[in-house]
Amino acid sequence: MTKAEFYELIKNHYNVIKDEKKFRALLCDYFPQEKQWRINALLFLYSHGIMEEIEKNPEMKLTEQARLKDELVDQYGMQARNAKWAVELWVKSYGKWVVEETELLNTIKKITESTEWDIKDIENVFKQAAKYPRVLRALYEVYMPVIEYLGEKAIVALLCIPLVDKDSVCTYEDYFELYKHLLELKWPGDYYGYGMLLFIGKSECNIKPDCQKGIRWLAYFYDEVNKEKLQYNVGVILYSLADVEYILGMAYAEGKYIERDEKKAEECWRNMLNESIKMDSIFEGGSDFNCIGEAYRGEDITVSINKMVIFQFKISANMKLAYKYLMKAVECGNADAMVGLAEMYEKGEYVDKDVKEARKLYIEADSKGNEDAREWLEKHAEVIECMNNE
């Protein structure tokens, strides 16, 4: 085990080494052929607070190093040269990591306190931030200088970098702390990207799906952003706000990952209809609006994302809302919604009974390959022929 190898372990798994059990397992996985006394020596120093000592002083005074060496010799019965190896490995490896983190924090301080910096300083801080939790949490401090010198769009683009960094060692709590500070600054940007990445998962960024944390993030920031009446108006957005509102509405409708609340579900879905920023949805062809429409018709709803059943719910019927969402889905060309709307006209649900209008919708849905529409047209062929002869 070399200093370089131990440094890479720390750098790539900082979020793991803060947990002693996980750190022990990681050491054994990383260095399966390593002598056991070396693993034990590193763990002994870990449990005796060497990381905290290094954080106070990355180079660590010789007297402190000597104290830890003596503890290894006296309490663990280790030879002096082996104890020296273990202490120096920690100091040279973790100390290097702490120095790098400190340099980035000092760069942030320089940016906030003077004008003697350039764009490369900013870019480097944002590119490296996801590898150093304290740096990520401190990014909000450069918000005002970046806006002043580079403009609002620059900060939006820069904040996307640590979100999608596949080498990130930062936790949910680290990202949450950063975005809470941005909220305090009333940043008019995308607060939902990280929550959606967590909810859906993104293998290219090494982000595994965690639906519960994703919904928790979305619910918190959705409430806070609306409370502050912040309007998104700049730069890049990772996911459609309508997608956020659709997913969050379903979570409230089922009470999954969050307390059930049909009124909040209705609020989220109502806002979907009014979004001024249009972008591609992860739900194709108005399937989201159709799903909501069918839910308001009183149907049992099951929604899958990435081939996994995520939501199953049933809400109170409301034919007025059902009609509104099905109409929106039809505008998007959704054949299933055409069938649902046709059924409403056929039965006179909320609208006046109108078989001719129902027939038109069934024909349009059939032209898009909808099997239910085709079966209805075949079953009612004689009635349709009479209509055609009128």
In 3D, which of 325, 390, 329, 321 has the Cα closest to residue 364?
329
pLDDT, tens digit (0-9, with 9 covering 90-100), for 277-301:
556 778 888 999 999 999 999 999 9
Domain boundaries, the chain: 1-116
- In the block, which residue shows the tokens 């300083």? 121
AA letter at 213: K
Helices (H) and strands (E) in the chain, counts: 22, 2
Mean predicted confidence (pLDDT) in 173-189: 94
Residue 3 or residue 62, greater confidence = 3
The answer on pLDDT for 264 being more than 60 is yes
In 3D, which of 186, 195, 196 has the Cα closest to residue 140?
186
The answer on pLDDT for 29 being more than 70 is yes
What whole-number distance in Å separates Cα of residue 211 and Cα of residue 254? 14
The confidence band for 62, taking pLDDT boundaries of 50, 70 and 90, is: low
AA letter at 205: C
Mean predicted confidence (pLDDT) in 193-221: 92
Whole-model pTM: value is 0.86
Residue 115 or residue 46, greater confidence = 46
The answer on pLDDT for 75 being more than 70 is yes
Both tokens of residue 81?
Answer: 């040269």
